[in-house]
Amino acid sequence: MRIKFHTAEDVLTAFPTLGDDLVARPDGSEPLRYVRRLAESADPDDSVTFFAYLAPRREAVWWSCRCLEALEMGDGAGAAALAAANAWVARPEEEERVAALRAAEAGDMQAAETWAALGAGWSGGNIAPDGPAPVAAMAHLTAKAVRAAVLIAIASAPGEARAARLERCVAEAFAVVDEDIEARFG
């Protein structure tokens, strides 16, 4: 994954809404070191939040899909939404984006899979295809949706299992960093 930011502060500058979602204040640290430090902090959920904003949109959605699959989510009602998000990751075209948006709109807003699909659906283009006028996707929407997907997935576990889920999702973040999405999907 190509990271376009030099410091954690640069991410906040690019996405001011990050400041609303993060307990910690980004500093001059290299962004991936900052993610690791957040994962070991008193507010480890901040590592999820920060990575959702740090990753490019496609990689961020891919990460959320990987987390949900690693946590064995995506069965039943959430299967269609997760499949639509994965389809957009594999082929980030308008048709797949709109399909992910529609799958999310049909989903349960309290389900992690729905938010993964929203991450894909809100990645660009018109996010209100049935509305009276086009509504452009704002740059931070994918990060917000991906953050919600991963945090819902973590929080859906019993208290004693949440730390392990968070650790697994942070590991998936670094797996996304290390893997070339273009080589994987084209």
Q: What is the pLDDT of residues 5-34, one digit of tens each?
A: 999 999 999 999 999 999 999 999 999 999
> Over the stretch 159-170, which tens digit does the pLDDT of each residue have?
889 999 999 999
Residue 45 has which token pair? Answer: 């959920």
The predicted-structure confidence for 63-73, as pLDDT tens digits, reads as follows: 999 999 999 99
- Residue 77's pLDDT band (cuts 50, 70, 90): confident
Token pair listed for 85? 């998000």
Which pLDDT tens digit goes with each residue over 80-125? 999 999 999 999 999 999 999 999 999 999 999 999 999 999 999 9
pTM of the model: 0.96
Contact 64, 95 (CB under 8 A): no
